[in-house]
Chains A and B, each alone.
Chain A
Amino acid sequence: MNAIIEVRDVSKSYGGVAANTGISLSVDEGGITGLIGPNGSGKTTLFNSIVGYHPIDSGSIKFESKEISKLPVQAIARRGLLRTFQQTRIYGKMNCVQNMLISLPHRKMSFFDAFSRHGQQDYERTDGLLDFVGLYEKRFLRAGSLSFGQQKLLEFAMALMNEPTALLLDEPTAGINPTLINGLIDRLKRANTEFGITLFVIEHNMRVIMNLAEKIYCLAHGQLLAEGTPEQIQNDQRVIDAYLGVH
């Protein structure tokens, strides 16, 4: 399979803290790849590096075979590489429908398109996707008044609205009611198969990631510790030690 995201030897430190050291990995086009690791192991930092949220110290990051490590966040997003936030970010004072409409892909939009209104098909897509994540009834409520879990679902729907080629999800099931998690796994899989979006997912919930991903990378102390299929990762002694805090 083709690699759609290629990370080569990427390092990033915050002052004295080496958050990522010499990380190399690749995300297969059309698949679901997982990223795990203990708290503070550098997972979010790596996501931030990939989407251009901050400049990296060294290394190379390619998306669809093109170097993107020098591009600003917006330019990378417009190429179809999108991320959601661990802390969940939505537009709080706008209602769910508006949150969805503003998430329509901006790569297809010229300056003058901004002075037009939305067509019927935009509203239909909005309704369809809000229904897909189970927020249809809440669509005229302010996004800021939704619960954390609902905001997480809204953010996911907004990402789908943007029609990305690849989507990086930072802990999509955090704060979601356990009884709803199976439904969410199902939706993530459908986003991958039905909409053809490549997923790269950070997840703490082992059951979720083992269920979802075809390939998993594990970070510890800012370095790549292990990679493999869910079975290989589950049985890897280094991974087990890292999670149990044994060094």
Chain B
Amino acid sequence: MNKRNLILYIAILTATVIAPFLFPDFRTQLATLWLMIIVALTWDMTGGQMGYNSLGNIFFYGTGMYVAAVIAIGLVYDVGAYTDAAGGQIFIFTEAQYFSGLFLGVIGAGLFCSVTAVVIGYLTFGLRGPYFAIGTLGVAIAAGELVSNWDWVGGGQGIALPVYPGDFDIGKLLFYYLFAGVGVVLFIFLKWLYSTRFGEAINAIRDDEEKAEAMGLHTLRYKLTTWAMAAFFVGMVGAISAFQLIHFEPLETAYQTINLGIFMVVCVLLGGKGTLWGPVVGAILFHVFKEVTWNYLLGWQWVALGALIVVTVVYFQDGIMGWLMHRRPEWFGIRVEEKDTAGA
């Protein structure tokens, strides 16, 4: 890493740490910004880097929420009795119970989602192009319906988690740092992953999977591993969201296919598929756009959002990073190099 990049990364890290103190009124929005960055980066692992456009990643978000809830509640009480009580009985969580539930819930959600990604991937990775997109979307929709009919986890009413046992503002800070922490770890992880032979392999699958097979690559293994890694992070942030929101519903919140499920794709398209920075830049722009339109264009916010999607897809297909790469190929190392200048 050269000096300029090092300074840039230190500046970003510092901004990340102090942001909730600079903008104390926007702690929840900043936490949501990190959520968007995480779901965009993980979507790009399969969509941008591997060429498999999933519309079902929201499945891992929703499943992460439920797994976390079941773990956090199940550690202390009977889950069925808890969801049955409807306010009649009072359930109390001590501070220790809350934090062990939070910790185990987040980790457990990540692991559970990784395993389900392998199972679902095994069934859906035979599908290509639009069929894969629709197949995975079907999984997310079906899961939402199934869970909303499953009384043990609260059915259509959803489920409520224990409330943060301390000061409300400190709680907001905690959730901000949880999201930001996962985001920073994810970014570093991907920066490393994309520099390894693994990164090359999934790029090869994106460019021509049949060629990759003909060259002897373990294509299915790479695909399953990639999705399992993505699902791990999405499951974790689903779990964190569950604790942050306290109460959530299956269709509107957990398996929200048309909101977050589509937003993550828009973020990546806006920023540029298949690049490390594209999803980050796209998520920031998208989040700002969404907050502004939701606050100032009330009633028209969905129209504005639709217009943004159309403009991106029609005029900006390669996103901001793609446009930059086109304009300044030398920044990305695309150049003709004569033999005698090499190694100089």
Hey, which bits of chain A sit against chain B, CB under 8 A?
51, 53, 72-74, 77-78, 82-83, 85, 89-95, 98, 101-103, 105-107, 109, 111, 113-118, 127, 131, 136-142, 144, 158, 162
Complex Cα distance, B207 from A81, in Å, reads: 22
The residue in B206, B217, B338 that gathers the most chain A C-beta atoms within 10 A of its C-beta is B217
Complex Cα distance, B215 from A107, in Å, reads: 10
Are the C-beta atoms of B339 and A117 separated by less than 8 Å? Answer: no
Are the C-beta atoms of A74 and B213 separated by less than 8 Å? Answer: yes
Are the C-beta atoms of B337 and A82 separated by less than 8 Å? Answer: no
Known: A91-B204, A114-B198. A105 touches B336 (CB 8 A): no
Complex Cα distance, B212 from A94, in Å, reads: 13
Are the C-beta atoms of B198 and A137 separated by less than 8 Å? Answer: no
Q: Which of B210, B214, B333 contacts A140 (CB 8 A)?
A: B333
When distances are taken between beta carbons in the complex, the residues of chain B under 8 Å from A83 are: 214
Residue B3 interfacial (CB < 8 Å): no
Are the C-beta atoms of B336 and A138 separated by less than 8 Å? Answer: yes
When distances are taken between beta carbons in the complex, the residues of chain A under 8 Å from B207 are: 90-94, 144
Complex Cα distance, B204 from A73, in Å, reads: 16
A–B pairs, 14, beta carbons within 8 Å = A74-B216, A77-B214, A78-B216, A89-B210, A93-B206, A95-B334, A102-B203, A102-B204, A106-B216, A107-B216, A115-B196, A116-B197, A141-B334, A142-B334
* Chain B: number of interface residues, binned into ranges: 20 to 34
The residue in A89, A107, A138 that gathers the most chain B C-beta atoms within 10 A of its C-beta is A89
Are the C-beta atoms of A141 and B336 separated by less than 8 Å? Answer: yes
Residue of B nearest to A118 (CB): B197
Residue B95 interfacial (CB < 8 Å): no
When distances are taken between beta carbons in the complex, the residues of chain B under 8 Å from A92 are: 207-208
Using an 8 Å CB-CB cutoff, how does the interface string of B3-47 with A read, 1 for contact, 0 for none? 000000000000000000000000000000000000000000000
Using an 8 Å CB-CB cutoff, how does the interface string of B208-232 with A read, 1 for contact, 0 for none? 1011111111110110000000000
Are the C-beta atoms of A93 and B274 separated by less than 8 Å? Answer: yes
Complex Cα distance, B332 from A93, in Å, reads: 13
Are the C-beta atoms of A98 and B200 separated by less than 8 Å? Answer: yes
Residue of A nearest to B219 (CB): A74
Are the C-beta atoms of A158 and B214 separated by less than 8 Å? Answer: no
Residue of B nearest to A107 (CB): B216
The 10 tightest CB contacts between A and B, nearest first, are A77-B216, A91-B207, A89-B211, A78-B216, A114-B198, A106-B216, A102-B200, A102-B204, A73-B213, A114-B197
When distances are taken between beta carbons in the complex, the residues of chain B under 8 Å from A73 are: 213-214
When distances are taken between beta carbons in the complex, the residues of chain A under 8 Å from B193 are: 115
Using an 8 Å CB-CB cutoff, how does the interface string of B160-204 with A read, 1 for contact, 0 for none? 000000000000000000000000000000000101111011011
Interface Cβ pair total, 8 Å cutoff: 107
Are the C-beta atoms of B214 and A94 separated by less than 8 Å? Answer: no
Residue of B nearest to A106 (CB): B216
Residue B335 interfacial (CB < 8 Å): yes
Known: A90-B208, A142-B334. A82 touches B222 (CB 8 A): no
Known: A93-B274, A95-B334. A105 touches B204 (CB 8 A): no
Besides A74-B216, A85-B211, 12 other CB < 8 A contacts?
Answer: A72-B213, A74-B218, A77-B216, A83-B214, A90-B207, A92-B208, A101-B197, A103-B215, A114-B196, A137-B336, A141-B336, A158-B215
Complex Cα distance, B201 from A107, in Å, reads: 14
When distances are taken between beta carbons in the complex, the residues of chain A under 8 Å from B342 are: 127, 136
Are the C-beta atoms of A91 and B211 separated by less than 8 Å? Answer: yes
Complex Cα distance, B202 from A114, in Å, reads: 11
Are the C-beta atoms of B208 and A91 separated by less than 8 Å? Answer: yes
Are the C-beta atoms of B216 and A91 separated by less than 8 Å? Answer: no
Are the C-beta atoms of A51 and B196 separated by less than 8 Å? Answer: no
Complex Cα distance, B208 from A82, in Å, reads: 16
When distances are taken between beta carbons in the complex, the residues of chain B under 8 Å from A105 are: 216
Are the C-beta atoms of B203 and A98 separated by less than 8 Å? Answer: yes
Are the C-beta atoms of A82 and B214 separated by less than 8 Å? Answer: yes
Complex Cα distance, B213 from A199, in Å, reads: 20
Shortest distance between the CB of A54 and any CB in chain B (Å): 12
Complex Cα distance, B196 from A77, in Å, reads: 22
Residue of B nearest to A111 (CB): B221
When distances are taken between beta carbons in the complex, the residues of chain B under 8 Å from A90 are: 207-208, 211
Are the C-beta atoms of B203 and A162 separated by less than 8 Å? Answer: no
Complex Cα distance, B338 from A45, in Å, reads: 40
Are the C-beta atoms of B208 and A89 separated by less than 8 Å? Answer: yes
When distances are taken between beta carbons in the complex, the residues of chain A under 8 Å from B217 are: 74, 102, 106
